[in-house]
Amino acid sequence: MLSDLVVVDLTRALAGPHAGMMLGDLGARVIKVESPDGDESRRWGPPFAGPADAPESTYFLSCNRNKESVTADLKTPEGAELLTRLIARADVLMENFRPGVLDRLGFGIPRLRELNPGLVILSITGFGHDGPDRDRPGFDQIAQGEAGLMSLAGPGPGEPAKTGVPIGDLLAGMYGAYGVLAALHERNRTGRGKVVRTSLLAAIVGAHAFQGTRWTVAGEVPQATGNQHPSIAPYGLFRTADSPVQIACGSEGHWKRLAELLDLDEPEFATNSGRVAERGKLTAAIERVLAAEGAGHWLGRLREIGVPAGKVRTLDETYAWEQTRSQGLLIEVDHPAAGRVALPGPPLRFDGLPYAGARERHLPPPRLGEHNDSVRAWLDEEAVRPGR
């Protein structure tokens, strides 16, 4: 779908690389420009894959499929020349340097506009491009704390916890790719590119959802409620005779069917507000009944009566699950060092395409500098497109 687009990716670590991978999954040609030492996430391990003399971190493998890698020291004339030539050919430039770094390298916005008026520029920072904290480096866990997310995710008030994945990075990458596509759409009308800016802070605040409006509208400071929903009950994790199950009563109909199954007719549980107010008592009452049988029994009964429920899978169980595989969420690629490896697949499917993403064949995450020769040959062979 994006096979006519060239993306120059100067980003490293996760937020920017994730955005680039999303565009690559949709068919864009993504050229990752790395320093001679490479993206630092190449060294973020263990675990590593491949031979001991050429290891690849599984972290890097997670966010760099469908890309080519060229190396360049942008502080040297040779590196600056390569980037200049790439920018002239590109539709999108992505960077996640701290504010001002690109200017110091000689590639500030005016220079980029001069080189390519139609260039869409994605810039991702930790805390924003202006404001008093603009110069702070962006690391996901710090942003999770500063943006309030950790105060919501812990087991209870005063026990903050980060999420199990770098969600600020991932969200910033998603928002960034979303902004790039909007800017490209506008360019179809105007012929001119836009600067798209987001940050880890903005991405997390943008995902506060109902927790944000609890404060901005109702004046209530949300606190962590562990594995129970703060505004709906029962909605959370409940113990059985063996392993826990999750139950989500998203409607009064769900609740009435659950209450009948578990013989819960206390008057204080008659409304959602009452159940939220008495969440501790409600949870104890549910778990007393669930303790009589194991998770498999209760999941079967809950499915029979149409109450949403599920188990808690480990990642190996998730990837072995037939439903996961049926959605194209596990792909295999041939990596030049690690051999045949399985990767989490693209989350989008399109009507008429039998595979996930918009590529019939996915490219493995590249080795450092793997495409130095081929990209330079491409620049030498093809003239700059008309109008650029």
Identity at 38, one-letter amino acid code: G
Longest alpha-carbon distance in the chain: 78
Of 138, 132, 111, 109, give the one whose Cα is nearest residue 198. 138
- Residue owning tokens 């500063």: 146
Q: What is the 3-state secondary structure (H, E, C) of 13-37?
A: CCHHHHHHHHHHHCCCEEEEEECCC
Q: Which of 169, 242, 334, 351 is catalytic?
A: 169
Q: What is the 3-state secondary structure (H, E, C) of the chain?
A: CCCCCEEEECCCCCHHHHHHHHHHHCCCEEEEEECCCCCHHHHCCCCEECCCCCCEEHHHHCCCCCCEEEECCCCCHHHHHHHHHHHHHCCEEEECCCCCHHHHCCCCHHHHHHHCCCCEEEEEECCCCCCCCCCCCCCHHHHHHHCCHHHHHCCCCCCCCCCCCCHHHHHHHHHHHHHHHHHHHHHHHHCCCCEEEEEHHHHHHHCCHHHHHHHHCCCCCCCCCCCECCCCCCEEEECCCCCCEEEECCCHHHHHHHHHHHCCCCHHHCCHHHHHHCHHHHHHHHHHHHCCCCHHHHHHHHHHHCCCEECCCCHHHHHHCHHHHHCCCEEEEEECCCEEEEEECCCCECCCCCCECCCCCCCCCCCCCCCHHHHHHHHHHCCCCCCC
How many residues make up the chain in this entry? 388
CA atoms of 143 and 96, how far apart (whole Å):
15
The yes-or-no answer on residue 169 being catalytic is yes
Q: How far is CA 303 from the centre of its chain?
A: 31
Give the active site residues: 169
